[in-house]
A and B are shown apart, each in its own frame.
Chain A
């Protein structure tokens, strides 16, 4: 090409560099110059911006789902484990626990009582293996959730933590550590009140003070759906 001045040469060279057309040696030489010459770097940047709209000619294609799953498992291994816990919760729920919970709930309903508290929703959290049974009553008007411990307590040196698993929430949300008392009163945060009906409550076994990660870390002891009273 006939030289029309260094400036134009550099501009074309920057374009070739942006297109990745330069040989390995020329690329190295160009990058050495660019490191010392911001104007050259700016020329490359301009070319990148000029050329990028060519990608609009390409047909976008939604990648298969497994790509995103693999990506997130790779970047966020802790939430992959969290998903496993969630899945375990759901498996527990679908494994007949719902029916058992509902049956028990009907029997135990009258025992939920606290002055002035009218639960519109309830859940029955129980585990035969754990010897655990708690009834939960929820009043969405006040956001009050009252759990009555019918049977069982936390494992020695451990605590029980209550979780909300709501549709659309990527992970369980902690509602608090449960005291070993008969009646446990929790105020559900305002933004979660509407999520409770139809969601699932679950109790996990955690170290003192509750889960250190903000997600269930120990065994899932019981889980049950929140149903209309």
Chain B
């Protein structure tokens, strides 16, 4: 298995335009990042296209990685998610389409997945579980599906301002929980 340290080394080599390192980085991380693209875009062809864009960006911007101060996976996931959401929003308004998006399932990982998960991800899952279920689903909808406040308010059938309040309170609770 590729460790965070390995990926960090690969990113550093990619910043020096090392093609072999780029190929290895792709092999080590593309499945995870493709998972992110698929979840946000919910369209296979578009997700494939986006994944390509993501790696083009990684090839050109790997030298920026260090200044972000992120762990390598955080950086890769953040870049991918942001690009996916840019593309999602560029499609135009999602409002007519909202019912086409599958309702959020309970995303709690299986016991096996949990066993191998990083401690960080176990912590955020545990902290999400401390929120009321619909609030946790709203946070997941925002992060994993890239839903906007409008989308979320419609999805959970609450007024927009209520959704904003839910989300902001949930974020503060999450932060408190994670910093314990």
Which A residues are within 8 Å of any B CB, using their own CB? 1, 8, 11-12, 15-16, 19-21, 45, 47-64, 67-68, 70-72, 74-76, 79, 170
Q: How far is the CA of A70 from the CA of B121 in the complex (A)?
A: 33
- CA of A174 to CA of B109, assembled, Å: 51
Contact with A along B117-130 (1 / 0, CB 8 A): 11011011100100
Of A11, A16, A48, A74, the most chain B CB neighbours within 10 A belong to A48
Contact partner of A53 among B55, B108, B120, B167, CB < 8 A? B120
A71 to B144, Cβ gap below 8 A?
Answer: no
The residue that A57 contacts in the complex, of B23, B59, B121, with Cβ under 8 A, is B121
Q: 1/0 contact trace for B39-77 toward A, CB 8 Å?
A: 100000000100110011001000000001111011001
Which B-chain residue is minimally distant from A15 (CB atoms)? B171
The A contact surface, by secondary structure, is helix
Q: Which residues of the partner chain A approach B38 to less than 8 Å between Cβ atoms?
A: 61
Q: In the assembly, what is the distance between CA of A20 and CA of B148, in Å?
A: 8
Q: Quick one: closest B residue to A64, CB to CB?
A: B48
**A69–B26 alpha-carbon span in the complex (Å):** 11
CB distance A54 to B140 under 8 Å?
yes
> 1/0 per residue B130-146: CB within 8 Å of A?
00000000011011101
A8 to B20, CA, bound (A): 45
Residues of B within 8 A of A76 (CB): 19
Q: Judging by beta carbons under 8 Å apart, are A55 and B36 in contact?
A: yes
Q: Are B174 and A50 in contact (CB under 8 A)?
A: yes
- A-chain residues with CB within 8 Å of residue B124 when the two chains form the complex: 50-51, 53-54
B3 CB within 8 Å of chain A: no
| Main SS class of interface, B | helix
Beyond A50-B174, A57-B125, is A68–B167 a contact (Cβ under 8 Å)? no
List, in ascending order, chain B residues with CB within 8 A of A71's CB: 26, 52, 55-56
Partner of A15, one of B70, B118, B149, B175: B175
Please tell me if the beta carbons of A67 and B74 are within 8 angstroms of each other in the complex: no
Contact flag A52-B73 (CB < 8 Å), given A16-B171, A20-B85: yes
- Cα distance A170–B19 when bound, in Å? 11
A76 to B23, CA, bound (A): 12
Are A11 and B175 interface neighbours, CB within 8 A?
A: yes
B172 touches which of A12, A48, A58, A62 (Cβ 8 Å)? A12
- Tell me, yes or no, whether B30 is within 8 Å of chain A by CB: yes
A55 contacts B144, C-beta separation under 8 Å: yes
Q: A20-B85, A48-B78 are in contact. Are A79 and B175 (CB under 8 A)?
A: no
**Across the two chains, which residue of chain A brings its CB closest to B149?**
A21
Please name the residue on chain B nearest to A13 by beta carbon.
B168
> Could you say which of A12, A19, A59, A75 contacts B143, with CB atoms under 8 Å apart?
A19
A45 with B55: CB separation less than 8 A: no
Q: By the criterion CB–CB under 8 Å, are A56 and B31 in contact?
A: no
| Top-6 shortest CB links A-B | A53-B121, A56-B121, A60-B31, A15-B171, A52-B74, A58-B35
How far is it, in angstroms, between the C-alpha of A155 and the C-alpha of B124 when the chains are bound?
A: 68
- State the Cβ distance, A172 to closest chain B Cβ, in Å: 15
Q: Once the chains are docked, how many angstroms separate the CA of A12 from the CA of B38? A: 28
Q: Is the CB of B168 within 8 A of A1?
A: yes
Task: Sample 25 A-B pairs with CB under 8 A, ordered by A number.
Answer: A12-B172, A15-B175, A19-B167, A20-B85, A21-B142, A21-B148, A21-B149, A48-B70, A49-B70, A49-B71, A50-B174, A50-B178, A51-B143, A52-B74, A53-B123, A54-B124, A56-B109, A56-B117, A56-B121, A60-B32, A62-B34, A63-B48, A67-B30, A75-B22, A75-B59
A170 to B21, CA, bound (A): 13
Partner of A75, one of B36, B56, B165, B175: B56
Q: How far is the CA of A55 from the CA of B171 in the complex (A)?
A: 17
**Given A61-B34, A62-B31, A79:B85 Cβ within 8 A:** no
Task: Give the CA-CA distance A50 to B172 in the complex, in Å.
Answer: 12
